[in-house]
């Protein structure tokens, strides 16, 4: 058998086994997939306990800040590259 075929088979089998293992383990820890509505209700339920957030408001704020900086930085960088492409690419290629 060709070496590359062996690589495909090993990779495919390993991928399915690992994915199945992870999903089975998570399902054992918390049975049942989300239905979306359940997710929103869960978030709302957790959200009602505002006091839980007050105890970790410092970390919460830091996380939000970091996410905001990451989001803003990446958007700014990509927007800049986009505008610069008008200079580096004088038109489109057909």
Partner 1 sequence: MSESTTQVDRFSAVQVYVHFLMALAILVLFLTGTAITFSGHVGWLVAVVGYQNIVLIHIVAGVTLFITLLYFIFYLLTGLATGDVPTAWMPTPGTVREAITYAKHILGRGEEPRPGKYTWIQKSEMLIIAVELTVLTLTGLVLMFPGLLLRYRPSFLVASDLHAVFAFTLLMGVTFHLYDTHVLEFPLDTSVFTGTVSLERAREEWAGWVDDEGTRTDGGETGTDRHIQIAGVVVVLFTFAVIYSGVMIDRILAPVPGTQVTLYLLDAPETILEGSFGLFWGLGLNVAMLVIIAGLVGLLYGITIRVTD
The pair of three-digit structure tokens given for residue 8, joined into one six-digit string: 């495909």
| C-beta closer to partner 1: residue 1 or 30 | 30
Is position 21 an interface residue for partner 1 (rule: CB under 8 A)? no
The pair of three-digit structure tokens given for residue 37, joined into one six-digit string: 């509505």
| C-alpha dihedral (46, 47, 52, 58), degrees to nearest 10 | 130
The pair of three-digit structure tokens given for residue 67, joined into one six-digit string: 């996410």
Residue 56 DSSP symbol: T
Residue 89 DSSP symbol: S
Is position 43 an interface residue for partner 1 (rule: CB under 8 A)? yes
Is position 81 an interface residue for partner 1 (rule: CB under 8 A)? yes
Q: Which of 19, 24, 58, 62 binds partner 1 (CB under 8 A)?
A: 19
Point out which residues bind partner 1 (CB under 8 A): 3, 6-8, 10-12, 14-16, 18-19, 22-23, 26-27, 29-40, 42-47, 49-50, 52-53, 56, 60, 63-64, 67-68, 70-72, 74-75, 78-79, 81-94
């Amino acid at each position: 058998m060709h070496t590359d075929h062996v690589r495909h088979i090993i990779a495919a089998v390993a991928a399915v086994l690992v994915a199945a293992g992870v999903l089975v383990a998570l399902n054992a820890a918390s049975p049942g997939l989300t239905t979306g509505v359940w997710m929103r209700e869960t978030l709302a339920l957790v959200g009602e306990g505002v006091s839980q957030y007050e105890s970790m408001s410092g970390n919460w704020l830091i996380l939000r800040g970091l996410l905001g900086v990451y989001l803003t930085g990446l958007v700014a960088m990509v927007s800049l590259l986009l505008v610069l492409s008008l200079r580096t690419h004088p038109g489109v290629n057909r």
